[in-house]
Structure 1
Amino acid sequence: MTFSRRSFLAASAGVAMPLGAPSLALAQAREFRLGILTPPGHPWNRAALKVGETLKAETNGRLSLTVFHAGQLGNEAAMLQQMQSGALDMGWIMAAELGSRVPTIAAITAPYVVDSTPKIAKLVRHPVAMKLFDVLPRETGTVGLAWGITGMRAIFSARDISRLADIRGMKLRINPTPVYRDFYQSLGAAPTPIPTPAVFDAMSNGQVDGLEADLEFSWNQRFDRVSKVILMMNAVFMPVIALVSGRVWTTLPAADREIITRAVKAALDIQIDELAVNEPKLVEQFKAGPAQVRVADPKDAEAVVAEFDKLWLPKAPVLAELRQVGRTL
């Protein structure tokens, strides 16, 4: 079920509400439910809990938030469906899931839009990135409030690799989002579907040659212990979007929508800044470990990126604008 953009805009403006409804709603207590796939302790989860603390403090407990961690409410597709129906108030959904449905959202995960985590931090706050949310009410029945981020992803390889050309022929566990699939296939990799909990053993026994993942997640999983090389791609990243059910959003008075939006942005701003500051320390931790840390030359990907854009620009014209912004950061 999708949520009409027309009804969303009308209701957001208060047109469809009965006289007096906003002031009545403003006086009512409301407990929101938020679903998220990542486990307790993850930076996104900590940010979600911070939102709940802020809502409680700013409204003297009138607005509260319960966070359901680690996919307790189902996978991201299930949580998105629940938000579309209004059964779930909020969900923090990764661009991989949304990008598989909405090419405009997928565009931000295209290779080499930016080439460092500090630039990611700037990109997701840029008006062009925020404007990507405009398609969400129509396409998904949800309202986007803010981005959260992971850092640049790297390849953890059981092979001895040092450049992009060495990826050719590798059985590589990747996130199955269409952008990543098209990019890594163009590099000659053979994307191999392996459940995340099985990746460590799959690398150990040679079932896959490696995986691509963000550094923070990989440190927690210690994929460097089954890797010869960590190849820093500085090519792609995977953000998350803080979503609210469109059906729920239209029932809230403007003042409450403002409080929620401000709380979400503030919490994710902290998450973004902390990641940008901490990632260099994480790289140093990896350098002290068993795997060699190497950096791929982005010039080696110029032809691949040109072919990628031929495929994706017709589907997501905003990609050209994102690349232009990325060059200025």
Structure 2
Amino acid sequence: MTLTRRHALALGAALPLAAPGLALAQPREMRLGILTPPGHPWNLTALRFGEQLKAATNNRLSLTVFHAGQLGSEAAMLQQMQSGALDMGWIMAAELGSRVPAIAAITAPWVVRTTAQVGEFVKTPVATGLFDLLPRETGTIGLGWGITGMRVMFSTKDISSLGEVRGLKIRTIPSPTFRDFYTALGAAPTPIPTPAVFDAMTNGQVDGLEADLAFSWNQRFDRVSKVILGMNAQFMPVAALVSGRVWAGLPAADKEIITRLIKSNLDQQIAELVADEPRIIESFRAAPIPIRPIAAADTDAAVRAFDQIWLERAPVLREMRRVGATLA
């Protein structure tokens, strides 16, 4: 059959109506990068999301998770998402906060004081509203927060109060909020690659480290420590991000599925971590190693010193503290 001009025009007019259905029918493999290793709760959550995504779309959308920084650093993964070369990345607030001070403020000390409060806080409008800054600043879309528990300090010195942190060399996350907080306490923040921390504590290169309990139990930092100081000051969430370029090209129905599944899986990750923390604490106590709490009254001066620096950089911190106080 000869394709006449009239037939061609008729076919062209029909294509816009058919294209959405054709687009929905196309199989697609999505790629997700994450820095943490296989077996980490965030990685397990990403894998579970991928399985549910495949089931919800009848195998049309699949997900490959690249663990342990296989695609490069978090900065590199952000660049790949900006270009659309990477579909998704689960990026920690430390990396995002180095670019956007308002996001760094979510890791300010004592915004909340328990892991259960962390789980509630990251779902509040002041926390999820930080995602509004991402399209302009990073070219990504934020769909939800995953969490770690509140962080403690493992010390090779036998300390029992916040004042005794002064003068210690503490391995911290290379984040501006962590650096400024520990500097305000009189400590020397010392960024060391994670694989080197155990040996650094053994040979005296550092006097301790701050870390979340779940990660620390897997690494057994209690074996090179004399005490755990229950700082309960900071936490380090991870943002589930999608490339803005990729997101713009997805049908609305796929956006709804992805958003819903990521939210439900992050909610599950949060609930599981909160429920499991008492078991981890008991594991350390049975090790045994003393866990000494910080008196709440002793934190006021440290909060004032930190806020003197950060309220100007990130005014949203004031609202974060107000919201956090309602969760106590």
Instruction: State the TM-score, normalized to the length of structure 1.
Output: 0.93
Partner SS, residue 159 of structure 1: coil
Shift of 1:117: 0.3
Gaps spanning 5+ residues in structure 2: where? 1-14
Instruction: State the TM-score, normalized to the length of structure 2.
Output: 0.93
Q: Deviations over 1:68-90 (max 9, x none)?
A: 01111011111111001111000
- Which of 239, 242, 245 is the aligned partner of 2:240? 242
CA distance in 2, matches of 1:273, 1:248: 30
CA distance in 2, matches of 1:22, 1:187: 57
CA distance in 1, matches of 2:198, 2:310: 32
Question: Corresponding residue for 2:312?
Answer: 314
Q: Deviations over 1:100-125 (max 9, x none)?
A: 11111111110000000000010011
Question: Corresponding residue for 1:121?
Answer: 119
Question: Corresponding residue for 2:11?
Answer: none
CA distance in 2, matches of 1:305, 1:24: 56
Question: Corresponding residue for 1:160?
Answer: 158
Gaps spanning 5+ residues in structure 1: where? 1-17
CA distance in 2, matches of 1:25, 1:307: 54
Shift of 1:22: 3.8
Question: Corresponding residue for 1:49?
Answer: 47
Partner SS, residue 312 of structure 2: coil
- Structure 2 residue 167 is matched with structure 1 residue 169: yes
CA distance in 2, matches of 1:41, 1:307: 38
Shift of 1:308: 1.1
- Which of 98, 101, 104 is the aligned partner of 1:103? 101
Q: State the AA in 2 paired with 1:59.
A: T
Shift of 1:309: 1.1
Partner SS, residue 313 of structure 2: coil
Question: Corresponding residue for 1:143?
Answer: 141
**Any conservation in 2 of the 1:35–1:67 contact (CA below 8 Å)?**
yes
Q: State the AA in 1 paired with 2:39.
A: G
The 3 A distance-change label for structure 1 pair 35 and 288 is same
- Which of 280, 283, 298 is the aligned partner of 1:282? 280
Which runs of 4 or more aligned residues in structure 1 lie more than 2 Å from their structure 2 counterparts after TM superposition?
Answer: 18-25
Shift of 1:19: 4.4
Shift of 1:296: 0.9
How many correspondences in the alignment? 312
Q: State the AA in 2 paired with 1:279.
A: E
* Percent sequence identity over aligned pairs: 71
- Which of 189, 192, 200 is the aligned partner of 2:190? 192
CA distance in 1, matches of 2:263, 2:169: 38
Output the aligned Cα RMSD. 1.1
